[in-house]
């Protein structure tokens, strides 16, 4: 079965540094998403992306965050200046369409540790 | 936030059917019910979804009550690999698909 691929699986960074998390969505999918999960907490929606534009974003997705589809296969999440509270597991997801009758496919995540 | 109610935890004997309930009393007429699961900090995994009719796939069955205010996910023969947190999600109709996760039910399958 096709899958969403995320790299790296673990990322350690210093507070204030920029990080880029990378995702390769399923090839024929058109809608892309980022979620995060702080240890012991719920999976939280960050942003959805379609046609090279942000479709929706949550309150968490402030000016420190940005997303990009730099080429035909990658989808990235950038955190400009990391904070301690950005430490979390970040999940990328994709779906074929953005219809309501749709399922999301999630990657296995990138564990981000901010020191 | 998610508008569903699930028990925080359940146990199930290996090989038996696991029946996971969910209340979604505020669901509107055109909102789907989705089930996902998360196995120990892996990415969430889609299981099944439905609108009005009962649904079955290779993973599970979904039984939706006639008034659509509750549903039950059935794993017919639970295995140890089914130990996970199961999320029942009442669709958040935001115009684009967006899954809003609650706290789910932690299912422990016992040998």
Predicted confidence band of residue A1 (pLDDT cuts 50, 70, 90): confident
DSSP-assigned beta bridge partners for residue A36:
A44, A90
Q: What is the pLDDT of residue B93?
A: 43
Q: Say if residue A76's pLDDT is above 80.
A: yes
B42: nearest CA in chain A?
A108
- CB within 8 Å: B91 and A50: no
- Least CB–CB distance from A56: residue in B34, B44, B98: B98
Distance from CA of A13 to the nearest CA of B (A): 21
pLDDT tens digit sequence for B9-31: 999 999 999 999 999 888 887 78
Which residues from B are below 8 Å from A48, CB to CB?
A: 96-98
pLDDT-based confidence at residue B95 (cuts at 50, 70, 90): very low
User: Number of Cβ pairs closer than 8 Å across A and B?
Assistant: 64
Task: Please provide the average confidence, as pLDDT, over all residues in chain A.
Answer: 93
């Amino acid at each position: 079965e096709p899958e969403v691929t995320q790299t790296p699986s673990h990322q350690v960074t210093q507070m204030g540094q920029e990080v880029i998390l990378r995702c390769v969505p399923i090839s024929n999918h058109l809608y892309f998403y980022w979620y995060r999960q702080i240890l012991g907490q719920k999976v939280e929606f960050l942003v959805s992306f379609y046609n090279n534009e942000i479709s929706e974003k949550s309150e968490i997705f402030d000016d420190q965050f940005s997303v990009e589809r730099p080429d035909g296969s990658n989808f990235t999440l950038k955190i400009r200046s990391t904070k301690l509270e950005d430490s979390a597991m970040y999940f990328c997801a994709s779906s074929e369409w953005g219809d309501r009758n749709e399922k999301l496919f999630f990657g296995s995540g990138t564990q981000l540790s901010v020191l | 936030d998610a508008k569903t109610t699930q028990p925080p935890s359940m146990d199930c004997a290996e090989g038996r059917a696991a029946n996971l309930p969910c209340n979604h009393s505020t669901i509107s007429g055109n909102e789907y019910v989705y089930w996902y699961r998360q196995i120990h900090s892996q990415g969430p995994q889609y299981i099944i979804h439905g609108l009005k009719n009962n649904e079955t796939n290779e993973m599970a069955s979904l039984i939706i009550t006639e008034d659509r205010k509750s549903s039950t996910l059935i794993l017919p023969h639970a295995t140890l690999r089914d130990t996970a947190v199961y999320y029942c999600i009442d669709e958040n109709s935001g115009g684009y698909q967006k899954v809003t996760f609650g706290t789910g039910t932690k299912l422990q399958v016992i040998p």
